[in-house]
Amino acid sequence: MLNVLLICSMGASTGALCEKIKKAADQQNYDINIWATSLATANDEIEKSDIILLGPQIRYMLKKIVEAADGRPVEAIDMATYGMMDGEAVFNKVKEMALNNEK
Amino acid sequence: MNKFFDKIENKLLPLVEIVQSNKYLSAIQYGMMCMMPLMMVGAFCCVISDFPLEAYQTFMAGVFGQELWANWNWGYINVATMGISSIAAIIGTTYELARKDKVNPIPAVIVALMSFFLVMAFTSDGSGFLFSEFSARNLFLALIISIGTEAIYNFCIKKNITIKMPESVPAFVSQQFTAVIPAAICCVLFLIIRVVASNSNFGTVSNIIYTILQAPLTNLGTSFVGTIVCTILNSLIWMFGIHGTNVIQTVWTPLWQAARDANLQVYIQNAAAIRPYIVTDAFGDMVIFLTGTGLTLPLVIEMIFMCKSARIKAVGKTALIPGIFNVNEPVIFGLPIVLNPVMLIPFVLSPVICVSLAYAAMNFGFVPRPTGTPVPWTLPAPFGGWMMTGSWTGGLLQIVLLLISGLIYYPFIKALDKKYKEEENAKMNERIDEK
């Protein structure tokens, strides 16, 4: 099972997005484990994840998270997708990241 | 305009990164997060114990007995939850610092705790530590000790100033000895500090830090000017789609927590007394960030019910429920407010005016100042304001602020709606033409 970690400042707004991504994954018959955390506690969670997504509001931390991620794919969600809470678009991104990672 | 925004963004991103990824600031932030469970449990108990209804109080006192009802929260739970917030902060901060330095965190935490207890004041008869030493009154001291002892610990480990065991000794045994030298150094150091402090006019180490550091910094950061600076910075950073609140809180949370505790100490003694600080962490969550930065919930309601553009309506619907719970990324990124010159003015103006009004209302006594009970930041208005002040006028204040914010946004969202609607119509016409 794919473990997807979303990081935002408090874990609240990405928390809402999490459910939408999970729903999109279910609809496409993928079983994923997805959860949200805050920036301050990110170090606790990174180890348990396979793929990491950042909320656009903390995209300036991308470099630091990439360092901490130890080779795991990390990307920031783009603002428009995030604003519309578009779970499907984010899930397609996750699939793409997972595929690229396998190569 | 876009070029101008790009230029600022390119300057701003690295600047924010410096603040946020600073080792000490981010470790302190982790420490503050560790206080949260204690704060929330403590706050919940305060609500149950102090619910302002005479009949309820009499009834509960009848069921549980006067003494137990008076003491269960303030006498027992409070001193073990909010009352030990400095200990939670010291554990969290030291742990995160050690982890960042890639040394074994638990021994570092233990050395830090030892050092903290070494400088704690006793009760006047010497039978134990003073309760108040462990609350957020000593937050700054706790953070200073965290940083100091972790630096000593890290230095000793990295420079191999440790007791070395022969190779044949199992690793878990020899690990226990690595912390002995840093612990001994801290032990002597903090003993000296304690003795020097007790011979000074201050009497205790906590008094020194409180008087010369914590109180002045808190007064400055929570003053009217300090609060307006924080409010403007918050909105401006968000304008670039960067989490301004997170950046602001990195700096302001310790000050707001210290202010909160100072208020709580007064509130415990006398619930009716005027409390020292207006701006605490609850004021931040329930006024400055009310329904999210920019007080955007009224804007969202206008978007749904008063706008014609399909795009604006759709964003409004996505943003409504999170907005009620003080989360507003959907409207910030969806409308978007980010890099949108039309929304810049109300997005800065509305919080500045609302914060000024709330500050004035509390300053002149129309609304009581925060009691110091922690308030969960997702609590919707008007309950958040009521819980913050312990008075219904706090809830009323929030409603008034939201109405004012709605008035400020109205002309701007109408202008944006007109522009979007025209764009949408133009696109529609194009499509019809194609057919």
CB-CB under 8 Å, B241 with A83:
no
Residue B368: asked if its preceding bond is cis (omega within 30°), the reply is no
What backbone torsions phi and psi does residue A38 show, to the nearest 5 degrees?
-90, 160
Q: Name which of B32, B242, B330 is nearest A85 (Cβ-Cβ).
A: B330
- First-to-last alpha carbon distance for chain B, in angstroms, is 36
State pLDDT tens for residues A29-64.
Answer: 988 999 998 888 888 899 899 999 998 888 888 888
* 3-state secondary structure (DSSP) of residue B150: helix
The owner of tokens 């002149």 is: B364
The reported pLDDT for the residue numbered B2 is 65
A34 interfacial to chain B (CB closer than 8 Å): no
A28 interfacial to chain B (CB closer than 8 Å): no
| Mean pLDDT value across residues B423-428 | 88
Dihedral sign (CA B207, B209, B214, B217): positive
Written as six digits, the tokens of A36 are: 């949200």
Query: Which of B46-55, B247-256, B348-357 ranks highest by mean pLDDT?
Result: B348-357
Task: Using the predicted structure, report yes or no on whether residue B109 has a pLDDT greater than 70.
Answer: yes
Question: Which burial class, exposed, middle or buried, applies to A11 when counting CB atoms under 10 A from its CB (0-12, 13-18, 19+)?
Answer: buried
Residue B165: which pLDDT band, with cuts at 50, 70 and 90?
Answer: confident
| Cα distances (angstroms) measured from residue B37 to each of A47, A89, B89, B266, B280 | 23, 34, 12, 23, 18
Q: Name which of B16, B99, B332 is nearest A60 (Cβ-Cβ).
A: B16
* A64 inside domain: yes
Residue B336: asked if its preceding bond is cis (omega within 30°), the reply is yes
CB-CB under 8 Å, A55 with B243:
yes
Task: Using the predicted structure, report yes or no on whether residue B191 has a pLDDT greater than 80.
Answer: yes
pTM over 0.90: no
* A56 inside domain: yes
Active site residues of A: 8
The reported pLDDT for the residue numbered A74 is 93
B39-43, B138-142, B280-284: least confident range: B39-43
Amino acid at B315: V
| Mean pLDDT value across residues B122-149 | 92
The reported pLDDT for the residue numbered B340 is 87
Count of helices and strands (H, E) across chain B: 21, 0
CB pairs under 8 A between A and B: 88
CB B295 within 8 A of CB B239: no
A47 interfacial to chain B (CB closer than 8 Å): no
Task: Using the predicted structure, report yes or no on whether residue A70 has a pLDDT greater than 60.
Answer: yes
Ordered DSSP codes for A63-74: HHHHHHHTT--E
B267 interfacial to chain A (CB closer than 8 Å): no
Minimal CA–CA distance to A57: which of A33, A82, A32? A82
Contacts of A37 in chain B (CB under 8 A): none
CB-CB under 8 Å, A83 with B334:
yes
Give the nearest chain B residue to A59 (CA atoms).
B242
| Mean pLDDT value across residues B413-426 | 91
How many angstroms away from the CA of B330 is the closest CA of chain A?
Answer: 4
The reported pLDDT for the residue numbered B229 is 95
Alpha carbons B244 and B238: distance in angstroms, whole number? 5
Alpha carbons B388 and B283: distance in angstroms, whole number? 7
How many angstroms away from the CA of B190 is the closest CA of chain A?
Answer: 29
| Mean pLDDT value across residues A75-87 | 87
Alpha carbons B323 and B330: distance in angstroms, whole number? 9
Contacts of A63 in chain B (CB under 8 A): 17
Higher pLDDT, B150 or A9: B150
How many angstroms away from the CA of B254 is the closest CA of chain A?
Answer: 15
B32 interfacial to chain A (CB closer than 8 Å): yes
Contacts of A55 in chain B (CB under 8 A): 243, 329
Higher pLDDT, B176 or B273: B273
Residue B230: how many CA atoms within 13 Å on its side-chain side? 30
Residue B25: which pLDDT band, with cuts at 50, 70 and 90?
Answer: confident
The reported pLDDT for the residue numbered B433 is 82
| Mean pLDDT value across residues A1-25 | 84
Alpha carbons B149 and B181: distance in angstroms, whole number? 12
* 3-state secondary structure (DSSP) of residue A55: coil
Question: What is the number of other CB atoms lying within 10 angstroms of the CB of residue B75?
Answer: 11
A29-43, B256-270, B406-420: least confident range: A29-43
What backbone torsions phi and psi does residue A84 show, to the nearest 5 degrees?
-85, 0
Helix, strand, coil percentages, rounded to 5, for chain A = 55, 20, 25
Ordered DSSP codes for B41-64: HHHHHHHHHH-S-HHHHHHHHHHH
* A94 inside domain: no
State pLDDT tens for residues B224-251.
Answer: 999 999 999 999 999 888 888 888 888 8
The reported pLDDT for the residue numbered B279 is 97
Question: Partners of B192 in the beta sheet?
Answer: none
| Cα distances (angstroms) measured from residue B28 to each of A40, A59, B131, B154 | 9, 21, 23, 17
| Mean pLDDT value across residues B182-196 | 95
Alpha carbons B80 and B86: distance in angstroms, whole number? 11
B65 interfacial to chain A (CB closer than 8 Å): no
Alpha carbons B105 and B157: distance in angstroms, whole number? 12
Higher pLDDT, B15 or B145: B145
Instruction: Provide the number of structural domains found in chain A.
Output: 1
* A96 inside domain: no
Average predicted confidence (pLDDT) for chain B: 91
The reported pLDDT for the residue numbered A103 is 66
Q: Which of A46, A57, A66 to mutate to test the interface with B (most CBs of B within 10 A)?
A: A57
CB A32 within 8 A of CB A2: yes
CB-CB under 8 Å, B17 with A63:
yes
E strand spans, B83-127: none
Question: Which burial class, exposed, middle or buried, applies to B219 when counting CB atoms under 10 A from its CB (0-12, 13-18, 19+)?
Answer: middle
Q: Which helix (H) or strand (E) holds B11?
A: helix B2-21
Give the nearest chain A residue to B100 (CA atoms).
A43
The owner of tokens 């030298």 is: B181
CB-CB under 8 Å, A43 with B96:
yes
- First-to-last alpha carbon distance for chain A, in angstroms, is 18
CB B257 within 8 A of CB B31: no
CB A39 within 8 A of CB A11: no
The reported pLDDT for the residue numbered B204 is 92
CB-CB under 8 Å, A58 with B330:
no
Q: Which domain holds residue A21?
A: 2-84
Alpha carbons B88 and B315: distance in angstroms, whole number? 40
CB-CB under 8 Å, A84 with B315:
yes
* 3-state secondary structure (DSSP) of residue B384: helix
The reported pLDDT for the residue numbered B196 is 95
A19 interfacial to chain B (CB closer than 8 Å): no
How many angstroms away from the CA of A103 is the closest CA of chain B?
Answer: 31
A13 interfacial to chain B (CB closer than 8 Å): yes
B133 interfacial to chain A (CB closer than 8 Å): no
The reported pLDDT for the residue numbered B54 is 84
User: What is the domain partition of chain B in residue ranges?
Assistant: 24-221, 236-434
Minimal CA–CA distance to A68: which of A43, A85, A95? A43
Task: Using the predicted structure, report yes or no on whether residue B151 has a pLDDT greater than 70.
Answer: yes
* A77 inside domain: yes
Amino acid at B266: V
B119 interfacial to chain A (CB closer than 8 Å): no
Alpha carbons B200 and A99: distance in angstroms, whole number? 66
B318 interfacial to chain A (CB closer than 8 Å): yes
Q: Name which of B33, B241, B315 is nearest A38 (Cβ-Cβ).
A: B33
Contacts of B246 in chain A (CB under 8 A): 9-10, 39, 57-58
CB-CB under 8 Å, B314 with A59:
no
The reported pLDDT for the residue numbered A19 is 87
* A92 inside domain: no
B13-22, B141-150, B243-252, B255-264: least confident range: B13-22
CATH of the domain at A39: 3.40.50.2300
Buried b (16+ CB within 10 A) or exposed e, B375-388: bbbebebbebbbbb
Quick one: angle between helices B85-100 and B105-118, nearest 10?
140
CB-CB under 8 Å, A16 with B14:
no
